[in-house]
Amino acid sequence: MSLQGEIDDLFVYAMKGQWDEVLRIYKKNPEAHKAKITKSEDTALHVAVSVGQTDAAVELLAVSQEGILEMKNARGNSALHIAAALGNLLVCKSMVSRNLNLITIRNHKGETPLFLAALHGKRDAFIYLHSLSKDEYLVRRNDGDTILHASISGEYFKLALNIIHCHPSLADAINENGLSPLHILASKPNAFHSSTRLGLFDRIIYHCLVVDEFEEETHDVEEYVAKKTKIGKETLNRLHLNQSVSQVHKRRKEGEETVDEENPHQQSGSIQVATPGVDSCAVSSESKGAREEPSFASSSRLSHAKGNEEQENKTVGEESPQKTSTSQGDNQRSDSRQFPSNYEKIVLFLKLLMKALLIILGIGILRIEKIQRKKELHMWAKRAMNELIKYTTSYKFYDNTGLYPGKVKEEFLIPNDLMTDPGKFKEELLISNDLMTDLWKKHTSDSSLTDQKQRSDQNEIGKQHTPILIAAKMGVTEMVEKILDEFPVAIQDLDSDNKNVVLLAVENRQSQIYNHLLHRKILKESVFRQLDKEGNSALHLAAQCKEQRPWLIPGVALQMQWEIKWYKFVKHSMPPQFFPRYNTKHETPKEVFITSHKDLIKEGGKWLTKTSESCSVVAALIATVAFTTSATVPGGVDQNTGIPLLKGKFAFDAFSISSLVALCFSITALVFFLSILTSRYDEKDFAMDLPRKLLFGLTSLFASIASVLVSFCDGHIFILSHKLKSVAYPLYAALCFPITYFAFAQLSLYFDLCWAIFKKVPQRSNKAFLH
Report pLDDT for 76.
93
pLDDT at residue 758, as a whole number: 84
490 to 397, 402, 508: CA distances (angstroms): 13, 14, 19
How many domains is the chain partitioned into structurally? 1
User: pTM to 2 decimals?
Assistant: 0.72
Query: Is residue 580 in some structural domain?
Result: no
Q: What's the confidence (pLDDT) of residue 196? A: 82
Chain-centroid distance, C-alpha 225: 30
pLDDT number for residue 136: 80
pLDDT of residue 638: 60
Judge contact between 306 and 322, C-beta under 8 A.
no
By residue range, what is the domain housing residue 690? 603-769
Domain annotation covers residue 349: no
Residue 190 lies in a domain: no
266: which residues sit within 8 A by CB, 6+ positions away? 260, 273, 275
Helix axis angle for 19-28 and 3-16, nearest 10°, is 160
- Domain assignment present for 362: no
Please report whether residue 527 resides in a domain: no
State residue 746's pLDDT score. Answer: 66
Rounded Cα gap, residues 672 and 209, in angstroms: 45
Q: Which of 149, 175, 171 is nearest to 396 (CA)?
A: 171
Pairing outcome for strands 292-295 and 282-286: antiparallel
Residue 475 per-residue DSSP state: T
Residue type, 337: R
Separation in Å, CA 166 to CA 314, 373, 389, 597? 17, 26, 16, 52
Determine, yes or no, domain membership for 38: no
With contact defined as beta carbons under 8 Å apart, do 681 and 605 qualify? yes
Give phi and psi for 700, each to the nearest 5: -65, -40
Q: What is the pLDDT of residue 313?
A: 41
| 690 belongs to a structural domain | yes
Q: Give the pLDDT of residue 379.
A: 92
**pLDDT recorded at residue 412:** 36
Q: How far apart are CA 150 and CA 159, in angstroms?
A: 10
Query: What is the secondary structure of 713-746 as a DSSP string?
Result: HHHHTTTSTTTSGGGHHHHHHHHHHHHHHHHHHT
Pairing of strands 214-215, 292-295: unpaired
pLDDT of amino acid 114: 94
Question: What are the 10-residue block averages of pLDDT along the chain, 771 residues in total?
Answer: 76 90 88 88 92 91 86 93 93 90 93 94 91 84 93 93 90 90 93 84 78 56 61 46 47 46 40 43 42 40 37 38 38 46 66 64 70 89 92 66 38 44 52 52 49 47 75 92 92 91 93 90 83 93 83 83 92 88 91 91 92 92 86 66 66 82 93 93 89 92 88 73 66 74 73 83 62 38
Q: In this structure, which amino acid lies at residue 378?
A: H
Is residue 283 domain-resident? no
